[in-house]
Amino acid sequence: MAALRLLALRRSLLACLLGFPAASMALNSVNITTSTASPDCLNYRVVGICYWLFCTPFGCKVRTTTKVRHYIPDAVVSSYTNTGGNPWRDVSALSPRNETAQSGANNSAGNSHESPALRFKNADVVGHPGGLAFSRFAGRSGYTCAGAGKAFMPYLLSTLDTLAWRYGIPEAVYPESLTPGVREVGSRAASDLWGNVYPRSGFLQQTDDYKAAAVIAQRAGDIVTRRGQVHVYQPLLANKRDGYWPAGELKEADPSTGKWQELTPLPSSTCAVFPHHGKREQAKQGDFAWALWRPYSCCKRAGQTFLGSVDTEGGER
């Protein structure tokens, strides 16, 4: 039922976008699409050779094709303070306030007994709108792979994920949540701990708003790149097939599983993983958004039967 509801929301959004001109906004589908022209994020490489068995009535022979690997902007992940305030305004209507998700704040209520470092963020994971522009840009490098993301498809809307996102049920009692040093963004030893991935909810103890938003985005990405999680969401995953190796589970601080391109408040033409030591700008309204780029490997089909591949670097067999 949740998947059907998300699909209906996507169709409604597409209808709205086709029926009305885009408003002039700080972050909209146009400038998100423009951001896909990033050689650093694309990181296009030839990583091996694929072997295919090609048969005709006159016999069979082995053909080879080049195996490539590059990153694709699968989704836009928004991490923002006020419910209904997604900084990507074209999709903010997908996450309005409702009976179970009324508001948000830097701390839960501002009461004196609560920690001033307790922050709350909503999170939305929505399919990246720049697929066509990206394909044209990436195609200049050669053969390109297909990604898992579909434009404007809502993969996670935290306002629909009340029990897990607002109350941490049941992940608050998972071993990953209770064990220091497990699944963390940053380093305790280096005194640069941004936060813990578990429990994957909207609350986090962190005085720096940028770091809090980044950890929340990492949590949202962690959820949608896995199947069978106790959340209301759709998996952002493709299936492996002959000559095609899709991205797998996102892992913090591991660029081989995915990396982030900041869209707001400080648009970037490069990608990085959390934590990073580049320039960080605080958002005035506590609203942040990143494009999630994921690695894919593939080769062009050149026969009826896939025989395998040989990798020179960074590929998957």
What's the confidence (pLDDT) of residue 99? 79
pLDDT digits (tens, 9 = 90+) for 157-188: 999 999 999 999 999 999 999 999 999 999 88
- CA separation for the pair 187, 189 (Å, rounded): 5
Element (H, E) at 96: none
What was the pLDDT predicted at 259?
98
Which residues of the chain are under the pLDDT cut of 50? 1-25, 108-112, 317
**Tell me, what's the pLDDT at 115?**
63
Report the distance separating Cα 190 and Cα 167, nearest Å. 30
The upper half-sphere exposure of residue 226, i.e. CA atoms within 13 Å in the direction of its Cβ, equals: 15
Distance (Å, rounded) from C-alpha 135 to C-alpha 145?
9
* Residue 313, pLDDT score: 74
Q: Give Cβ neighbours of residue 150 (< 8 Å, ≥ 6 apart).
A: 10, 127
Q: What is the pLDDT of residue 101?
A: 76
Report the alpha-carbon distance of residue 39 to residue 270 in Å, rounded: 8
Check residue 104 and give its pLDDT.
Answer: 67
Q: What is the pLDDT of residue 317?
A: 46
Res 31: pLDDT: 95
Torsion, Cα of 42, 239, 77, 197 (10° steps): -110
CA gap 307, 62 in Å, rounded: 9
Output the pLDDT for position 19: 37
Q: What pLDDT does residue 112 have?
A: 44
The CA distance from 198 to 2, in Å, is 23
Are the C-beta atoms of 181 and 195 separated by less than 8 Å? no
pLDDT at 54: 98
Q: What is the pLDDT of residue 189?
A: 84
Instruction: Write down the pTM of the prediction.
Output: 0.88
- HEC letters along 196-252: ECCCCCCEEECCCHHHHHHHHHHHHHHHHCCCCCCCCECCCCCCCECCEECCCCCCC
pLDDT (0 to 100) of residue 107: 54
**pLDDT value at position 15?**
42
